[in-house]
Amino acid sequence: MTQDTSNTVNSWTIEKDDNNIAWLHFNAANVSANLLSQAAIRELDDILITFEKQPPQALVILSDKKDSFIFGADIKEFTALETRQQALDFLHNGHALMNRLAALPCPTVSMVHGACLGGGTELSLACDYIVASDDRKTKIGLPEIKLGIFPGYGGTARSIERCGPLAAMNAMLTGSALPARIAKKILLIDEMVPLRQLKSAAENYALTAPKRKKLPLLARLVNVAILRPLVASQMRRQVASKAKAEHYPAPYALIELWVKHGGNRKQMLEHEALTVAKLATSETAKNLVRVFFLQENLKSQGKQIDFNVEHVHVIGGGIMGGDIASWCAIQGYSVSVQDQDPARLAQTIKRAQYSFKKKFKRDRRAIRDANDRLLADHRGAGLHRADIVIEAIFEDVTVKRALYESIEPKMKPGAILATNTSSIKLEDLSSSLKNPGRLVGLHFFNPVALMPLVEIIRGNETDEKVVQQALAFGKNIGKLPLAVKSSPGFLVNRILMPYILEAVTMAGEGIPPEVIDKAATDYGMPMGPIELADTVGLDICKNVANILSGALNIPLPDNLKQLSDSKLGKKTGEGFYRYKNKKPIKNKSAGYPNADEVQHRLVLRLLNEAAACLREGIVDNQDLIDAGVIFGTGFAPFRGGPMEYIKSEGADKLCQTLDTLKSRFGERFTKDAGWAMIE
Amino acid sequence: MNNECRRKVYIVDGSRTPQLKSRGKVGPFSAGDLAVGAARPLLLRHNFPLEDLDEVILGCMMPGEREANVGRVVALRLGIPQSVTAWTVQRNCASGMQSVDSAYKNIRNGDADLILAGGTESMSHAPVMFNHTMVNWLGDMMKSRSIGQKVSNILKLRAKHFKPVISLLLGLTDDTVGLNMGETAEIIAQKFNITRRQMDEFAVNSHHRLAASARAGLLDEIEVLYDEKGNYYDFDDGVRTDSSVESLARLRPAFDRKYGKVTAGNSAQITDGAAWLLLASEDAVNKYNLPVVASIADTQWAGLDPSVMGMGPVHAMTPIMQRNQLAIDDIDYWEINEAFAAQVLACIQAWQQDEYCQKYLGLDNAMGKIPYEKLNIDGGGVSLGHPVGASGARIILHLCKVLQRTNTKQGMASLCIGGGQGGAVLIQNESTTEAEAA
């Protein structure tokens, strides 16, 4: 193996105190966050070898980074692993380190403050004790499952030993980052203390080395060989409700590993490495890692420029406007939300309480502070102070233009005006402004709190600086910003619409909606297109489809032309499905002989439109199409995005299917010239 | 002190919450919530950076249990930088006027240029407390270690332990003279021969004036409040548009149950509310290009017999009239807080009596009659309620609005203070001269 230069940089420093406690500081050079890279592992391993010969009184591992511990392994190194053997070597380096740490004769303590994830947690698990701060920034977890693998540095065996199989498997299968309070509850950590006492607590464990609490009997019982298959089948059922085995093999493999080897640490560690090596080199993991980097890529789009926003003013207290406002308040911004109607603002504030409680749980002060930052402002007092004004009123060109004319004179010089329009061309709006360059699109998706993507729409006249500011704002409010050319439907709705309309057309042909939706979820979509249309509202679908069908030459299906007011989807209790307690009533026995064709019709319309977007340069490059579609629609992440899917399946093969569909169903399946541009 | 070297103090803006009548249950907002709700839009509509505020002063009689120095709590909740100091003042019913007076003097003397001052009170949040017997019992309970001790302690619990201490009732009682505020109003009513009918008529007018002004949209100093349950509050909800002398006549006296005249109907309501004023020196007005509404010309505090505390306004207003050589006609509008109809009516009478003016106010003759059509023209405490800590700031704010609206010169705001004091502020309209200049 070649030695890279980072190996020569010291990430770890040892500080010995009067009690001969070795305080092992982790401070990866030149980066803001600690990653347990192979270089960091080697360096730490060398240190531990000297400790093996000459052990200190105790060892405490801590981070010198502000408000973070260790974010996990360096995922970049992952992408270089091509063969299973390479992956296995990679994992064995980690195993060797963790085993050495666990076997040290002196007490070892992990002192956690801030994010402690993946490899960071595994390193902590190899210590005798883990103490953590109760700070809100402290999050401890094993999120590997999100990348299509599971903990591979001994974390499976050690977390189960520490927390018992139920809690540990749950943590690994969900991959959630636990606040210290929950981590303490499941015995993942030994003690939670205020940050000011964290060092004292670590020192106390180091010097007194108390006996660890034994796991409760029940937790130990579940690990008995004859009970494991029983418990595992329950786990599989829970996982199956979230992820299909053929799409996401990792959780099933993890359960399998535990069932087979749960009672024996040595075997479990051995097979952990074997299985993770296999998973890590699979297509699924590679695609999920790719999605991770696409996410980083979007975040970095907002880093080109500093945009210091002191106040946000949102105009329009409807669901979108209100949710954008409360989201910004949650993110720490001072926000005013303007609407002429105090009654609507009252509902906005009420809705905000749900968001605040969801985010801050029972933290009364955090909720109060968010409320204090969010002002229901029916007179528009906040307009003139805002650095960014977000317009989220109903979709009407005339009304929007009139609004812009009236607010522009009151806006702060240099403040940007962002519209949340999803269907009106920016150029039609910006001409009402004295300074059209300040108008940019900021297209949020509903529900705002859950959808990570924000499309930043670059109009023909939008100043480049304003686009950069909007991207920065998108990143600063914790969203993934994507710069998109101003064109009908932008990126996400445009790609989604032919797919939904094809589904609606098929429903019109008499294919049961259950079959159509299943074809989509089998492909890996989070929700079927028919259910999605019902959820969005058929009237809204029709509206967007109308706008797009003109511009993009997509015919509107007949069954969307005539809508009954009582059958507009979920909100009226009936659409394509009937709804009971806000859940669709699905006919489980619905069948259709040619389900494959249904899936092809859906997917190829989507892929064909994605190719068209590439050709038109709607976003800057091919990767960004994948990013937009995944984070904007939930498009099967394990497939890596539409472009990545086309590459892995082969464009030629897919185009053949497209031609077949064209001959059967007509012009809408005509191959777009953009297919030739896919690299 | 020579008036010439004193700096002029401007009122540049103000806001208040709607005044929400306490309906026996804990209201939706604490004292701090009310003050934050009224101040946020006020601060937002100006351009000065918040760190340029010199201080925040807030009057409050009973802050919420989590709101020690509620002024500071509110300032921090408003996002005002930590370096800006904030304090709370308590002069009972005049706490909100005291905060404005303190701000006025600090700016006048050159110690400050820009101050946010106001008052807040959530009377519906006034705590109900354990009595001392119960507190001592709890203390014993905490100390008892063995089960036996605990049991024997529990057996000592009696009904008397559970008698609550209602802080609001005690707060409205003057313990030095042993009189409830309502009882002091009865004393005054007797002294000045105010009839029940006069009081009730005054009360009805208060309601009708408030109702008419609200309908005409004259109360634009109100900022809408929103609670967490989807309700909003945009008007003073104690108003009774259907109030009549006949309906009020049916109410039983609230304090001197059998022979009294003071009823719940002709007294101020128990109410939650907050009001703010933004005060600035001339330098600050120029520096931040602030709109000038009014200036404070003079202030005065006075002390008198606590058992007739309701006469406080005449005692406080008289020195201002003398010092500024003013006659009744020189004052365009009057805001005298309506703690009790009896007490306002008695003040009007007292100024008309040679004897009272000579004996108590050091005047040679009677001052004269305050014209009723110039007094509390948009209602007062009887219809709006009297959130004790807030009212002082509210009447100054509203007086500014009245002078501006009627394009008149000067007005007087005054209130009586439990414990035997009075406070008064002389306001001059500055917005008219601005308009003329423009």
- Which residues in chain A have Cβ-Cβ distances shorter than 8 Å to B235? none
Q: Which fold has domain A492-677?
A: N-(1-d-carboxylethyl)-l-norvaline Dehydrogenase; domain 2 (1.10.1040)
Is 60 exceeded by the pLDDT of residue A5? no
Q: Which CATH number fits domain A311-485: 3.30.465.10, 3.40.50.720, 3.40.630.10, 3.60.20.10?
A: 3.40.50.720
Q: Which residue of A has its CA nearest to B229?
A: A350
pLDDT tens column, A312-331: 999 999 999 999 999 999 99
pLDDT at A147: 95
The minimal CB distance from B224 to the residues A311, A342, A384 is found for A342
The domain defined by B3-126+269-437 folds into Peroxisomal Thiolase; Chain A, domain 1 (3.40.47)
* Long-range CB pairs of A3-12, under 8 A, 24+ apart, other chains included: A4/A39, A6/A37, A6/A39, A7/A39, A7/A42, A7/A43, A9/A39, A10/A43, A11/A39, A11/A40, A11/A43, A11/A44, A12/A40, A12/A43, A12/A44, A12/A47
Report the gap between the CA of B223 and the closest CA in chain A (Å). 9
Integer CA distances (angstroms), A539 to A543, A562, A565, B137, in order? 6, 10, 9, 67
With beta carbons under 8 A apart, name residues in chain B contacting A412: none
User: Considering CB atoms only, which of A311, A346, A379 is closest to B232?
Assistant: A346
Q: Is the pLDDT of residue A222 over 60?
A: yes
| B226 in contact with A, Cβ within 8 Å | yes
Q: Label residue A230 by pLDDT band (50, 70, 90).
A: very high
pLDDT of residue A564: 86
**Of A493, A514, A574, A608, which residue is the catalytic one?**
A493
Region A37-57: mean pLDDT is 95
Residue A3 predicted with pLDDT over 60: no
Identify the residue among B36, B44, B224 best suited for mutation to test binding to A, counting A beta carbons within 10 A and taking the highest. Answer: B44
CA distance A409 to chain B (A): 15
What's chain A's average pLDDT? 93
Output the pLDDT for position A29: 87
Q: B312 with B423: CB under 8 angstroms?
A: yes
Looking at beta carbons, which residues of chain B come within 8 Å of A347? 230
Q: What is the DSSP letter of B365?
A: S
A455 catalytically annotated? yes
Tell me how many residue pairs between chain A and chain B have CB atoms under 8 A apart. Answer: 52
If you average pLDDT over residues A34-58, what whole number do you get? 95
Catalytic residue among A261, A311, A443, A600: A443
Indicate whether A426 pLDDT > 90: yes
Do the chains contact at B231 and A368, CB–CB below 8 Å?
no
Residues of chain B with pLDDT under 50: 1-2, 434-438
Interface test with A, best of B33, B40, B221 (most A CBs within 10 A): B40
pLDDT, one tens digit per residue, over B76-86 is: 999 999 999 99
Integer Cα distance of B32 and B64 in angstroms: 7
Using the beta-carbon criterion (under 8 Å), do B41 and A384 form an inter-chain contact?
no
CA distances from residue A438 to A315, A375, A410, B189 in whole angstroms, order as listed: 16, 24, 14, 67
On the question of pLDDT at A19 being above 80, the answer is yes
A558-572, A632-646, B3-17 — most confident range: A632-646
CA distance A236 to A251: 8
Give, in order, the Cα–Cα distances in Å from B16 to each of A41, B57, B278, B390: 62, 15, 12, 9
Chain A residues with beta carbon closer than 8 angstroms to that of B224: 342, 345, 376, 378
- Closest CB to A382 among B44, B78, B228: B44
> What is the pLDDT, as a whole number, of residue A7?
42
Residues of chain A with pLDDT > 70: what percent? Answer: 99
> In which band, very low, low, confident or very high, does the pLDDT at A4 lie, cut at 50, 70 and 90?
very low
Residue of chain A whose Cα is closest to the Cα of B66: A365
Per-residue confidence at A335, pLDDT binned at 50, 70, 90?
very high
Reported as a single tens digit per residue, the pLDDT across A604-622 is 999 999 999 999 999 999 9
d(CA B51, CA B35): 19
Q: Band the pLDDT of A483: cuts 50, 70, 90.
A: very high
Tokens of B127: 């705590």
User: What are the pLDDT digits (tens) for B247-274?
Assistant: 999 999 999 999 999 999 999 999 999 9
The answer to whether A57 and A206 are in contact (CB under 8 A) is yes
Active site (annotated) includes residue A422: yes
pLDDT number for residue A491: 95
Q: Domain A5-281 carries which CATH code?
A: 3.90.226.10
Question: Which amino acid is it at B217?
Answer: G
Determine, for residues B232 and A385 on separate chains, whether the beta-carbon distance falls below 8 Å: no
> Is residue B148 within 8 angstroms of chain A, CB to CB?
no
Give residue-wise pLDDT tens across range A386-419: 999 999 999 899 999 999 999 999 999 999 999 9
A-chain CB neighbours of B232 within 8 Å are 342-343, 345-346, 376
CATH 3.90.226.10 segments of chain A = 5-281
Average pLDDT over residues A136-163: 96
The residue among A335, A339, A350 with the most chain B CBs within 10 A of its CB, best to mutate, is A350
Give the DSSP per-residue string, B83-109: TSEEEEE-BTBTHHHHHHHHHHHHHHT
Q: What is the pTM of this model?
A: 0.92
Residue A346 and residue B79: Cβ atoms within 8 Å? no
Residue of B nearest to A384 (CA): B45
CB under 8 A, 24+ apart: contacts of B347-354: B347/B310, B347/B311, B347/B313, B347/B314, B347/B416, B348/B372, B348/B375, B349/B192, B349/B194, B350/B192, B350/B311, B350/B314, B351/B314
ipTM above 0.90, yes or no: yes
How far apart CA A376 and CA B225 sit, in angstroms, is 8
pLDDT band, residue A304 (cuts 50/70/90): confident
In order of A498, B399, B411, B438, the CA distances from B406 in angstroms are 64, 11, 11, 18
For residue A372, give the nearest of B36, B47, B229 by CB distance: B36
CATH 3.40.50.720 residue ranges in chain A? 311-485
Instruction: Give yes or no for a contact between A35 and A72, defined as CB atoms under 8 angstroms apart.
Output: yes
Per domain, the residue ranges of chain B are 3-126+269-437
Is a pLDDT exceeding 70 seen at residue A9? no
Length of chain A counted residue by residue = 679
> Strand, coil or helix: what is A114?
coil
Q: If you measure CA to CA, which chain B residue comes closest to A344?
A: B230
Alpha-helical segments (H) within B260-299: 282-287
Does residue B66 sit at the A interface (CB-CB below 8 Å)?
A: no
